[in-house]
Amino acid sequence: MQVYIEGKAFRRTAHCECGWNGTPRRLRSAAIVDAGIHAAQTGHIQAPAPVQSAEPVIVLRAA
């Protein structure tokens, strides 16, 4: 399973391949926290850094 952050500024939302969607957040960091909580609760990701897929975030920031 992979958790990623999506959405425009102020509407960052965490999503997961399992179909879970987080609450839209004003701050990307808040969405990342949502993703981390989801990953921890479901056991999808066990790495210390919950969000492994930083690429979409980087693309959004560069755009």
> By the criterion CB under 5 A, which residues form the site for Zn ion?
1, 16, 18, 20, 42, 44
Whole-angstrom distance, CA of residue 47 vs CA of residue 23: 22
User: In whole angstroms, how close is the CB of 50 to Zn ion at the nearest point?
Assistant: 11
Based on CB atoms, which residue is closest to Zn ion, 9 or 40?
40
| Residue 29, phi-psi category: left (phi > 0), alpha (psi -120 to 50), beta (remainder) | alpha
Based on CB atoms, which residue is closest to Zn ion, 9 or 18?
18
**What are residue 4's DSSP bridge partners?**
15
Based on CB atoms, which residue is closest to Zn ion, 1 or 58?
1
